[in-house]
Each structure stands twice: as structure tokens, then as C-alpha cells.
Structure 1
Amino acid sequence: MAAITGSLRQGEKKAVAEALQGALIDMIDLSLLGKQAHWNVIGHHFRPLHLQLDEIVALAREHTDVMAERAVALGLNPDGRAATVARASELPQLELGWINDGKVVAALTDVLEGIVKRMRERVRATEEPDPVTQDLLIKATQDLEKQHWMMQAQR
């Protein structure tokens, strides 16, 4: 496939591929964790958390597609298979069953904090080799930081 990859040197291409693949894994697993929490949250703050979790899932799915499409535009192959996500995800998993609203807030605050930290590393890693990818990562990080702030405010 003829793509923009000609403008990226091999080392640059590797750094960009790792950043995009890592972001893809984080976004896919965030969408899954968000839905798991959405279905199982209980407590006095059920309704607002239920709605906020849908917002988190929607933004994760949007950025999943953006990261995967950027990879393809660069001639890279995104890997969003369930086995790959399960093997590569760094996100802590939620407990099984009903989850009290306070535990959901604590868990998602921590999950989002970890993703934001990794996204900021990806932003730095792509600054030099591919500012376009960096821009996409910055936008995703901005959205994630907003959700982190909104979730953390409920602690």
C-alpha cells in the first residue's frame, strides 16, 4: 500500500506505530471497562455515573477509530483484536458483579489517570517524528483529562 510512510524514517515509523498501537489498546479497553461499569454500577449516584460512563465510552470509541485510521494512513496495521487487547492492556480490571458508585468513581479515576500518563508519553514520543499523529494524541489526551477531572471531582 502506498502511504505517507516514505516521509518517516524507520526509527520514526516504529515510534509512531508504538504510540498509535498503545493508544488504540488503551481506548478499546477503556470502552470495554466503561461499559462494564455502566452495566453494573449501583448506588445513590447511579444515574449521573451511568450517563458519564456513556460519555467516556463514546469518546474512547471515537478516538479508537481516529488512532486506527491514522495508523492505516501511515501504512501501518492497527491490531484491535480481543486477544491483543487482553494481552497488551495495562488497565486494571473491574471486579465482577455489582459495583458501588464510589468504587466505580475510584476505579475509573485511576484508570483515566494511567491512560493520561501514557498518552502524554506518546505525545512526547511523536513530537519530532510525526506532528500530525501528535496532534491527534493531544486531542485524545485533552478529552481524557477532562473526563478524569470530572470523575475525580466525585471522589
Structure 2
Amino acid sequence: MAKKLTQKQNAESGFRASAKLSTSMQRVLVDLLDLQLQGKQAHWNVVGTNFRDTHLQLDEIVASARRLSDTVAERMRALHALPDGRSSTIAETSSLPAYPTGEVDTKQTIDLITERLEAATGTVRDVHDSVDEEDPTTADILHVVLEELEQFAWMVSAENRKPEK
């Protein structure tokens, strides 16, 4: 027999993220937001051999990071956590190293973006197990983030790799 829902039994009174889960998701959110910003900085200032492909690939990374950050932030809100995407918060708490100013050669851009993709995936991997313990559904979102960012890291880094003998 189906239980009748009362007014108090709705999404607003459901599962709430712990402080640890909220902090973990905030770390992922900040890195994704910074990846968007740094990806655009790279996109606007990349120069050199294979410019067009690098330029276009950077836009793909930015679009993915934007979509993933929105998913993470909306999941946080669904769990009654408060996402903080302010520029000051990103600058103070991102695990990504700062991006250089000015024009950057395509080969260096490839290495810099790979480093940032790997930093962001490192954060996701760092928080994954504790997130999974508390909320497997949220961990499923982290799996998607890892899948996409690690694929980008592989594809981007392949540009500068030499075949193994």
C-alpha cells in the first residue's frame, strides 16, 4: 500500500549533506570553475603550431567543465549545501596552479592544461571515497567528472607525447 505524503515529507526535508560532504563537493566545484576560467585564458592566448586544433579543444574542455560544475553545484543544492562560486573563493581555494599571463606556445599550453586537468581529477579522487561512503548518488556524479576530465587529459597530453619504443 502506497504511503500518502504529508506536506512535510518532500525534498526540502530529505537527505542533507554533512559538513564533510559539503566541503568535499565545494572543493570539486571550485576546481571545475577554475578549470573553466583557465581554459578560456589558454584559449584566448595560445599561439603556435597546431593553434586551431588546440584552440578548439580548449573550448571543449571549458564547455565540459562548465556543465560539470553546474551539475555539482545543483547536486549540492539538492542536498541543502551551499555552493560558493565567487571569484574570491575560487582564487583562494582552487588546487589548480595559476595560469601564466600573455601568449603561450601551443606545446606549453598542452602541458599546462594537462597539469590543470590532472590537478582537478586529483581533487575528485581525493574526496571520492568519503563522498561515496556518505552518498553513493553524489559519488556517481564524481565518476562522470573523472571520466570526462581524465579522457581530456589523455587526449590533450597525447599532442606532446612521443611513441613508446
Is the Cα contact below 8 Å between 1:16 and 1:133 reproduced in 2?
no
Distance 1:145 1:122 in 2: 16
* Mapping 1:63-78, distance limit 5 Å: 63-78=68-83
Task: Could you list the structure 1 runs, at least 4 aligned residues long, displaced by more than 3 angstroms after superposition.
Answer: none
User: Of 20, 23, 28, which residue of structure 2 is paired with 1:18?
Assistant: 23
User: Of 107, 124, 127, which residue of structure 2 is paired with 1:122?
Assistant: 127
Counterpart in 1 of 2:57? 52
The AA in structure 2 aligned to 1:120 is R
In structure 1, stretches of 5+ residues that fail to align are none
Query: Bigger shift: 117-126 or 74-83?
Result: 117-126
* 1:81 maps onto 2:116 in alignment: no
Give 1:2 deviation, angstroms.
2.2
Give 1:107 deviation, angstroms.
0.5
Whose radius of gyration is greater, 1 or 2?
Answer: 2
Give 1:5 deviation, angstroms.
3.0
Higher helix share: 1
What's the % identity of the aligned pairs?
39
User: Of 34, 41, 49, which residue of structure 2 is paired with 1:29?
Assistant: 34
Is the Cα contact below 8 Å between 1:3 and 1:74 reproduced in 2?
no
Give 1:94 deviation, angstroms.
1.6
Is the Cα contact below 8 Å between 1:19 and 1:126 reproduced in 2?
yes
RMSD of Structure 2 on Structure 1 (CA):
1.3
* 1:136 maps onto 2:141 in alignment: yes
Distance 1:139 1:96 in 2: 31
In structure 2, stretches of 5+ residues that fail to align are 1-10, 161-165
Number of equivalences: 150
